[in-house]
Amino acid sequence: MSNQLQIQKILKTIRWNKGLACALTLLGLIVVSSTLLPLPHDPMQPNPYQTLRPPDGEFWFGTDRVGFDVFSRTIRSARVDLPVSVVGTLVSLVVGVTIGLVVSVKGRWSERIMRCLDMFQAFPLLVLAIVVVALTGNNLRNVVVAIALVNIPRFIRLVRSEALALREAGFIEAATSIGASRVRVMVRHLLPNMTGVVVAQASLAAAHAIIVVAGLSFLGIGITPPQASWGTMIRSGSQNIATGHWWVAVFPGLAVFVVVTSFNMVADGIYRLLAGDDQ
Amino acid sequence: MMGSTPLLSVADLKVEFVTKLGTVKAVNGISFGVSEGEIVGVVGETGCGKSATARATIGLLRRPGRVTHGTIEFDGVEVLSLPPRDLRRIRGSGLGFVPQNPFGSLNGTLRIERQFRNVLRAHGAASRAEIRSLSIKTLEDVGISDPERILRGYAHELSGGMAQRVAIALALSLDPKLLIADEPTTGLDLTIQRQILDLLHQLVTVRGRSMVLVSHDLGVVAQYCSRVLVMYAGVIVESGPVRDVLKTPAHPYTRALLAAVPRRGKPLQGLRGSVPDPINYPIGCPFYDRCEIRADPRCATEAPPLRQIGPDHWVASFYDPDMV
Amino acid sequence: MPLVKVQEVHKAFRRGSSPAVNAVNGVSLTVNRGETLAVIGESGSGKSTLGRLAVGLHQPDSGSVHFDGMNLGNIDQNSLRQLRRRMTVVFQEPLGSLNPMMTIGQIVEEPLSIHEPGLGREAKRDRACEILEQVSLDSALYGRKPGRLSGGQQQRVGIARAIISQPHFVVLDEPTSSLDLSIQAGILQLLAKLQKDLDLAYLYISHDLASVDFFSDRVAVMYLGQVVEIGAKQSVLDHPRHPYTQALLSASLSTDPDVTQEQMSLRGEIPSSVSLPQGCFFYGRCPYRSDPRCAEERPPLREVAPGHFVATFYDAQSDYLAGGQ
The answer to whether residue A193 neighbours chain C at the CB level (below 8 Å) is yes
In a domain? residue A43: no
* pLDDT tens digits, one per residue of B188-205: 888 888 888 988 898 888
In a domain? residue B234: no
Residues of C with CB under 8 A from a CB of B: 42-43, 150, 152, 180-189, 192, 207-211, 213-215, 233, 247-248, 251-258, 260, 263, 265-266, 269-270
Residue A76 near residue A262 (C-beta atoms within 8 A): no
C27: Cβ–Cβ under 8 A, 6 or more apart, which residues? Answer: C6, C8, C9, C46, C50, C63, C222, C225, C226, C227
Residue C209 near residue C263 (C-beta atoms within 8 A): no
User: How far does the CA of residue C102 sit from the closest CA of chain A (Å)?
Assistant: 9
The answer to whether residue B186 neighbours chain C at the CB level (below 8 Å) is no
Asked whether residue A97 carries a pLDDT value surpassing 50, the answer given is yes
Residue B304 near residue B317 (C-beta atoms within 8 A): yes
Question: What is the reported pLDDT for A47?
Answer: 77
What does the angle CA C71 – CA C72 – CA C78 come to, to the nearest 5 degrees?
120
- What gap in Å lies between CA A115 and CA C185, rounded to an integer? 52
Q: Which residues of chain C make contact with A179, given a CB cutoff of 8 A?
A: 81-85, 111, 114-115
First to last CA, chain B: 28
In a domain? residue B302: yes
Kindly list the strands in the beta sheet with C308-310, ordered across the sheet, starting from the edge strand earlier in the chain.
C87-90, C169-173, C201-206, C36-40, C218-223, C226-232, C308-310, C302-305
Question: What is the reported pLDDT for B145?
Answer: 81
Return the HEC string of chain A.
CCHHHHHHHHHHHHHHCHHHHHHHHHHHHHHHHHHCCCCCCCCCCCCCCCCCCCCCCCCCCCECCCCCEHHHHHHHHHHHHHHHHHHHHHHHHHHHHHHHHHHCCCCHHHHHHHHHHHHHHCCCHHHHHHHHHHHHCCCHHHHHHHHHHHHHHHHHHHHHHHHHHHHCCHHHHHHHHCCCCHHHHHHHHHHHHCHHHHHHHHHHHHHHHHHHHHHHHHCCCCCCCCCCCHHHHHHHHHHHHCCCCCHHHHHHHHHHHHHHHHHHHHHHHHHHHHHHHCC
Q: What does residue A238 show for φ and ψ, rounded to 5 degrees? A: -65, -25
In a domain? residue B131: yes
The arithmetic mean of pLDDT across residues A139-164, rounded, is 86
User: In 3D, which of B205, B177, B187, B17 has the Cα closest to residue B97?
Assistant: B177
- What gap in Å lies between CA B212 and CA B196, rounded to an integer? 15
Residues of C with CB under 8 A from a CB of A: 55, 57, 81-85, 88-89, 91, 93, 96-102, 110-111, 114-115, 158, 161-162, 165
What band does A226 get if pLDDT is binned at 50, 70 and 90?
A: low
* pLDDT tens digits, one per residue of C43-74: 889 999 999 999 999 999 999 999 999 999 99
What band does C325 get if pLDDT is binned at 50, 70 and 90?
A: very low
- What gap in Å lies between CA A107 and CA A182, rounded to an integer? 14
- What gap in Å lies between CA B267 and CA B250, rounded to an integer? 21
In a domain? residue C272: no
In a domain? residue A192: yes
Pick from C152, C183, C253: CB nearest B219:
C253
Question: What is the reported pLDDT for B4?
Answer: 61
| Cross-chain Cβ contact C110/A180 below 8 Å | yes
Residue B206 β-bridge partners:
none
The arithmetic mean of pLDDT across residues A159-166, rounded, is 88
The arithmetic mean of pLDDT across residues A158-170, rounded, is 87
Higher pLDDT, C2 or B120: C2
In a domain? residue A155: yes
In chain A, the percentage of residues whose pLDDT exceeds 70 is 93
| Cross-chain Cβ contact B264/C213 below 8 Å | yes
Residues of B64-79 as b/e, b for ≥16 C-beta within 10 angstroms? ebebeebebbbbeeeb
* Dihedral sign, Cα of residue C70, residue C74, residue C77, residue C79: negative
Nearest chain B residue (CA) to C217? B264
The answer to whether residue A2 neighbours chain C at the CB level (below 8 Å) is no
Q: Which amino acid is at A55?
A: P
Residue B151 near residue B116 (C-beta atoms within 8 A): yes
| Cross-chain Cβ contact B219/C254 below 8 Å | yes
Whole-number Cα distances in Å, A133 to A149, A207, A220: 11, 20, 11
- What gap in Å lies between CA B123 and CA B117, rounded to an integer? 10
Residue B213 near residue B224 (C-beta atoms within 8 A): yes
* Dihedral sign, Cα of residue A256, residue A258, residue A262, residue A265: positive
Asked whether residue C320 carries a pLDDT value surpassing 70, the answer given is no
Mark which residues 138-177 of A lie under 8 Å from C by CB: 169-171, 173-177
User: In 3D, which of B35, B34, B38, B31 has the Cα closest to residue B10?
Assistant: B31
Q: Give the other-Cβ count within 10 Å of C236's Cβ.
A: 28
Q: Which residues of chain B make contact with C209, given a CB cutoff of 8 A?
A: 190
* pLDDT tens digits, one per residue of A52-83: 878 877 777 888 888 888 888 888 888 888 88
Kindly list the strands in the beta sheet with C4-13, ordered across the sheet, starting from the edge strand earlier in the chain.
C21-31, C4-13, C62-67, C70-71
In a domain? residue B43: no
| Cross-chain Cβ contact C248/B190 below 8 Å | yes
The answer to whether residue B146 neighbours chain C at the CB level (below 8 Å) is no
In a domain? residue B217: no
User: In 3D, which of A191, A176, A112, A117 has the Cα closest to residue A151?
Assistant: A117
Asked whether residue C5 carries a pLDDT value surpassing 90, the answer given is yes
Whole-number Cα distances in Å, C163 to C84, C115, C140, C166, C167: 11, 13, 19, 5, 6
Pick from B194, B258, B268: CB nearest C263:
B194
B210: Cβ–Cβ under 8 A, 6 or more apart, which residues? Answer: B7, B8, B34, B35, B36, B37, B38, B39, B40, B177, B178, B179, B204
In a domain? residue C103: no
Q: Using only C-alpha atoms, what is the Rg of chain B?
A: 21
What does the angle CA B301 – CA C152 – CA C130 come to, to the nearest 5 degrees?
105
Mark which residues 63-102 of A lie under 8 Å from C by CB: none
User: How far does the CA of residue B24 sit from the closest CA of chain C (Å)?
Assistant: 17
* pLDDT tens digits, one per residue of C219-264: 999 999 999 999 999 999 999 999 999 999 998 888 888 888 887 8
Residue B179 β-bridge partners:
B96, B211
Asked whether residue B2 carries a pLDDT value surpassing 50, the answer given is no
Range among A136-140, A189-193, A235-239, B118-122 rated most confident: A189-193
The answer to whether residue B157 neighbours chain C at the CB level (below 8 Å) is no
Asked whether residue C16 carries a pLDDT value surpassing 80, the answer given is no
What band does C126 get if pLDDT is binned at 50, 70 and 90?
A: very high
Residue C87 β-bridge partners:
C169
The arithmetic mean of pLDDT across residues B74-87, rounded, is 83
* pLDDT tens digits, one per residue of C283-298: 888 888 888 888 888 8
Please state which of the ranges B81-90, B139-148, B206-215, C119-128 shows the lowest mean pLDDT.
Answer: B81-90
User: B130: domain range?
Assistant: 101-173
Contacts 24+ apart (CB under 8 A), C271-279: C271/C224, C272/C44, C273/C21, C273/C22, C273/C23, C273/C44, C273/C46, C273/C224, C273/C225, C274/C19, C274/C20, C274/C21, C274/C22, C275/C19, C276/C22, C276/C25, C276/C224, C276/C225
For chain C, give the number of residues. 325
Burial (CB count within 10 angstroms: exposed 0-12, middle 13-18, buried 19+), residue B103: middle
In a domain? residue B68: no
Asked whether residue C323 carries a pLDDT value surpassing 60, the answer given is no
> Average model confidence (pLDDT) for chain A?
83
In a domain? residue A214: yes
The answer to whether residue B248 neighbours chain C at the CB level (below 8 Å) is no
* pLDDT tens digits, one per residue of B107-124: 888 888 888 888 887 777
Question: What is the reported pLDDT for A106?
Answer: 67
- What gap in Å lies between CA C276 and CA C45, rounded to an integer? 12
Nearest chain B residue (CA) to C244? B191
In a domain? residue A251: yes
In a domain? residue A52: no
Neighbouring chains of B at 3+ CB pairs within 8 Å?
C
- What gap in Å lies between CA B238 and CA B228, rounded to an integer? 8
Higher pLDDT, C317 or C170: C170
The arithmetic mean of pLDDT across residues B161-169, rounded, is 88
The CATH number assigned to the domain holding C28 equals: 3.40.50.300
The answer to whether residue B256 neighbours chain C at the CB level (below 8 Å) is yes
Q: Which amino acid is at B139?
A: L
Interface pTM, i.e. ipTM: 0.88
Question: What is the reported pLDDT for B1?
Answer: 43
In a domain? residue C209: yes
In a domain? residue A19: no
What band does C83 get if pLDDT is binned at 50, 70 and 90?
A: very high
At C309 the three-state DSSP class reads: strand
Higher pLDDT, A13 or B54: B54
Q: What does residue B33 show for φ and ψ, rounded to 5 degrees? A: -140, 155
- What gap in Å lies between CA A124 and CA C164, rounded to an integer? 53
| Cross-chain Cβ contact A174/C98 below 8 Å | yes
Q: What does residue B258 show for φ and ψ, rounded to 5 degrees? A: -70, -35
User: A228: domain range?
Assistant: 59-277
Question: What is the reported pLDDT for A92?
Answer: 92
The arithmetic mean of pLDDT across residues A80-106, rounded, is 88
Asked whether residue C316 carries a pLDDT value surpassing 80, the answer given is no
* pLDDT tens digits, one per residue of C19-49: 889 999 999 999 999 999 999 999 889 999 9
Question: What is the reported pLDDT for B247?
Answer: 92
For chain B, give the number of residues. 324
* pLDDT tens digits, one per residue of B231-270: 999 999 999 999 999 999 999 999 999 999 988 878 887 8
User: What pTM does this model have?
Assistant: 0.87
What band does C317 get if pLDDT is binned at 50, 70 and 90?
A: low
Please count the structural domains in chain B. Answer: 2
Peptide bond just before A226 cis, omega within 30 deg: yes
Neighbouring chains of C at 3+ CB pairs within 8 Å?
A, B
- What gap in Å lies between CA A128 and CA A151, rounded to an integer? 10
The answer to whether residue B217 neighbours chain C at the CB level (below 8 Å) is yes
> Average model confidence (pLDDT) for chain C?
90
Please count the structural domains in chain C. Answer: 1
User: C203: domain range?
Assistant: 4-86+167-240
Asked whether residue A49 carries a pLDDT value surpassing 50, the answer given is yes
Asked whether residue C324 carries a pLDDT value surpassing 60, the answer given is no
In a domain? residue B51: no
The arithmetic mean of pLDDT across residues C130-150, rounded, is 92
* pLDDT tens digits, one per residue of C174-212: 999 889 998 999 999 999 999 999 999 999 999 999 999
